[in-house]
Structure 1
Amino acid sequence: MSGVTETRLKVYQATALFSVLFALVGFSYNVWRLEVTEHNSNVREASFELLLQLAELEQVVYAAHYDRDLERGSPRDGWVKVGLINDLSGTCGEAVVASAAVLKAVWSSNWAQMAEQSSATDAVVTAIDDTRAEVRAVLSTLN
């Protein structure tokens, strides 16, 4: 082969190799970005649902304590919401899981007295607020 043909062949091979490497790097980045986006989307959805459930639990507590309404302030509804909050917390990170566990423990030890005792109501509402703050902190870290 002539020198020109050999040089062209090397340039074509280098171009082909560079194209394959560039495609692999681009594909890898795209896959990584899609994974991050999916994770953030899952965390966002779970966080918003957690905030809704926390607000509904707070309504249950206030209905039981201030309104003495055992229908809207049903402890059974509260237990269901606390359970759902604990289930959803696993999607949002360790800090939310820990906060939800504290909320469950506080609810467990105070639900029977919250209709009559302000201290029980305050303890549950404080645990709700703490969990809400952890969820908001997680949301603020998403990109």
Structure 2
Amino acid sequence: METENITKRLKVYQITSIITILFTLVGFSYNVYRLEQSEINSNIRTSSFEMLKELANLEQIVYASHYEKDDKDGNPRTGWVKVGIITDLSLICFQEKNMQTQILHTTWKNNWATMKDNRESANNIVNSIDNVRVKIREVLKNLN
């Protein structure tokens, strides 16, 4: 009789131990998942804010070149660097090749030479910059 009682207690103890281990594994797995997701979100947020800064700098270059005819602050070579940085950061921000940044790159490539004297060229670049900003806001809004 006492052996049955001990056997019963051992089974309850073993089942309790197994359930405890399962809950521990599930909790640990979820914690690892959340930490990884938090790091991804942090990287996306950081790259998004850096992209927004670079977009503002690029827009300032366009305005300095077109409206002020300033060759120093409106230097297209500096603009090329900004466009490159934006394209590189977009891989982190969007976690995929983003169409808006590719369009910005193409728009810059097609319009940088005439942006100083041609209002349409300057507007094309600024509109493309605005489209990338909209996409960044959308990405930031959808972070979990």
TM-score range for the pair, normalised by the shorter chain length = over 0.9
Partner Cα distance (1:11, 1:32) in 2: 32
Alignment of 1:18-29 (within 5 A): 18-29=19-30
Could you say if the C-alpha distance between residues 44 and 96 of structure 1 is closer, same or farther in structure 2, counting changes exceeding 3 Å?
farther
Alignment of 1:21-100 (within 5 A): 21-93=22-94, 97-100=98-101
| Residue 72 of structure 1, CA deviation | 0.4
Tell me the TM-score normalised to structure 1 length: 0.96
Partner Cα distance (1:45, 1:96) in 2: 18
| Count of aligned pairs between the two proteins | 143
Partner Cα distance (1:74, 1:120) in 2: 15
| Deviates further, 66-75 or 96-105 | 96-105
Partner Cα distance (2:120, 2:96) in 1: 25
- Deviations for 1:44-66, whole angstroms, at most 9, x for unmatched residues? 00000000000000000000000
| Residue 118 of structure 1, CA deviation | 0.4
Tell me the TM-score normalised to structure 2 length: 0.96
Per the alignment, residue 142 of structure 1 pairs with 143
2:12 aligned partner, one-letter code: V
Partner Cα distance (1:96, 1:130) in 2: 15
Considering only aligned residues, what root-mean-square deviation do their CA atoms show, in Å?
1.2
User: Are the aligned partners of 1:96 and 1:134 in contact in 2 as well (CA < 8 Å)?
Assistant: no
- Deviations for 1:9-49, whole angstroms, at most 9, x for unmatched residues? 01110111011101100010001111110100000000000
SS at match of 1:90: helix
Partner Cα distance (1:50, 1:44) in 2: 10
| Residue 6 of structure 1, CA deviation | 1.0
Partner Cα distance (1:95, 1:69) in 2: 36
Contiguous gaps of at least 5 residues in structure 1 = none
1:75 aligned partner, one-letter code: P
Per the alignment, residue 15 of structure 1 pairs with 16
